[in-house]
Amino acid sequence: TLVKSLFRETEKHLDKEVYLSGWVRKIRDQKNFGFIELNDGTFFKGVQVVFDNNLANFADVAALSISSSVLVTGKVVKSQGAGQSFEVMASKIEIVQKADLEYPLQNKRHSMEFLREIAHLRPRTNTFSAVFRVRSVLAYAIHKFFNEQNFVYVNTPIITGSDAEGAGEMFRVTTLKLDKPPRKEDGSIDASQDFFGKETNLTVSGQLNGETFCAAFRNIYTFGPTFRAENSNTSRHAAEFWMIEPEIAFADLTANMELAEDMIKYIIRYVMEQCPEEMEFFNQFVEKGLFDKLNNVLNNNFGRVTYTEAIDILLKCGKKFEYPVQWGIDMQSEHERYLAEEHFKKPVFVTDYPKDIKAFYMKLNEDGKTVRAMDLLAPGIGEIIGGSQREDNLEKLESRMKQVGLHPEEYSFYTDLRRYGTFPHAGYGLGFERMLMYVTGMGNIRDVIPFPRTPKNALF
Ligand code: 4AD
Ligand code: MG
């Protein structure tokens, strides 16, 4: 029996003998018969297994605990009970193991905080079963989207000597020498313990390496882990997260925004089509109105506004913000939320930010004050994409690097791209977890990463 199709389309197996393996999600028994809700992992929903005292080991089966592992032979029949149309009448149940009674996920509601502490067991709950199946399908949708448009998938390094974002929040990579402390007596870091004598860190973005492949393959994307040492204990920041970074050649910021909008719509549509049961669950139990929100995204153009216009909207809206609004500020989450949730009421691109609050590689506008940057702000989440058109002029790039304290000679791999056939190009980074939060309605980034690396979580 094809197990997946059995759990999804039980009716196709009516009157057939089936062989199942899985875990007991629920069990109740009466004197001479009982019911097991069995889940085999291939589908969000389980199947009801009916057993009675014809089983040689009836008493042992009736005494099974939640999460016990079993092998079931039986026949698919129409169900008399409410709740399911079909069930499996067991002719044989082999017990692989009766689970320890201390299993923490007994049938009652658990708080998200409690479930985070048992990250190794939470994938067995309904909520996390739905989240992590959708995470897998969403990743596939992203690869499928770029593949269909002939983008080349590039793996960029995780250990690197460069700092793409200049945010100064990196994890340093060192080799561990057992006989030497990592710092010298005067407190300075012992460089002999660096990565083979070089200063390295975990990557904050694959963009700079991605750009080098863009100069060869035209359109490329990366999809990999990214690390930021920021200690911000928010529901949207993780120290380890995944980022998708496309880079497109002979393209400007407008093409970049079009690509981002097409991608977001494509992946939302794909997940809604491929995961109907999981999405229904989120719509009912996690975010009421999720379907309306997503359909609204699919059926409308994203908003577009420049930073200068956005500041104007914020100044004139009459709302009192905690952090004062003024041209030049790095917008805080209260400002981004107002723009996306109350003003535009849909995802909105904010473009052309002041150069001083953005990274060195962004293309300088004619005004000399702003750069060709774009952030996509989504209602309920805030920034899900950050991107820009890149500075393709060698002199301007080198002068920007010096202004922010980078040494162009250390980035010759990057400036070479502006020497050997420079070209207009653009790209962006999509935070994979933030996108997953948006699609599922889950409110905390810790609950969309299998094993979150945030300051307070256990690190197994
Ligand atoms: O805006 P960011 O910092 O942009 C870059 O890294 C560029 N190099 C991207 C590019 O142009 N190729 O990060 C991009 C996105 C953010 O919009 C956000 O969705 C996500 O990455 N992100 C985080 N997600 C979770 N936890 C964090 N600490 C994040 N920091 C950024
Ligand atoms: Mg950003």
Q: Which residues contact 368 (CB under 8 A, 6 or more apart)?
A: none
Q: What is the residue type of 185?
A: E
Which residues approach ligand 1 with their CB closer than 6 A?
164-165, 205, 207, 228, 230, 237-238, 241, 243, 245, 383-388, 427-429, 431, 433-434, 445
Q: Residue holding tokens 């009448």?
A: 89
Residue 456 confidence (pLDDT) above 80: no
Q: Reading across the β-sheet that carries 219-227, which strands appear in turn?
A: 152-153, 219-227, 240-249, 425-431, 382-389, 373-378, 348-351, 303-306
What is the mean pLDDT of the segment spanning 304-319? 97
pLDDT (0 to 100) of residue 305: 98
Give me 102's structure tokens: 């201390």
Instruction: Report the greatest alpha carbon distance in the chain.
Output: 85
pLDDT (0 to 100) of residue 2: 44
Residue 371 confidence (pLDDT) above 70: yes
ipTM of the complex: 0.99
pLDDT confidence of 168, banded at 50, 70, 90? low
Strand partners, 351: 306, 374
What is the mean pLDDT of the segment spanning 127-133? 96
pLDDT, mean over the chain: 93
Pocket test for ligand 1, best of 202, 241, 263, 436 (most atoms within 8 A of CB): 241
What is the mean pLDDT of the segment spanning 276-283? 96
Name the residue at shortest CA distance from atom 23 of ligand 1.
431
What is the mean pLDDT of the segment spanning 268-287? 97
Cα(133) to ligand 1 centroid in Å equals: 23
Chain segment 93-106, per-residue pLDDT in tens: 999 999 999 999 98
| DSSP conformation class of 340 | I
Q: What are phi and psi of 227, to 5 degrees?
A: -130, 130
Cα(194) to ligand 2 centroid in Å equals: 29
Most confident of 177-181, 192-196, 398-402: 398-402
Cα(247) to ligand 1 centroid in Å equals: 14
Judged by average pLDDT, the poorest of 14-23, 65-74, 181-190 is 181-190
Q: Which atom of ligand 1 is nearest to the CA of 210?
A: 12
What is the mean pLDDT of the segment spanning 164-170? 80
Q: Which atom of ligand 1 is nearest to the CA of 383?
A: 17
Pocket test for ligand 1, best of 434, 435, 437 (most atoms within 8 A of CB): 434
Judged by average pLDDT, the poorest of 37-46, 209-218, 329-338, 346-355 is 37-46
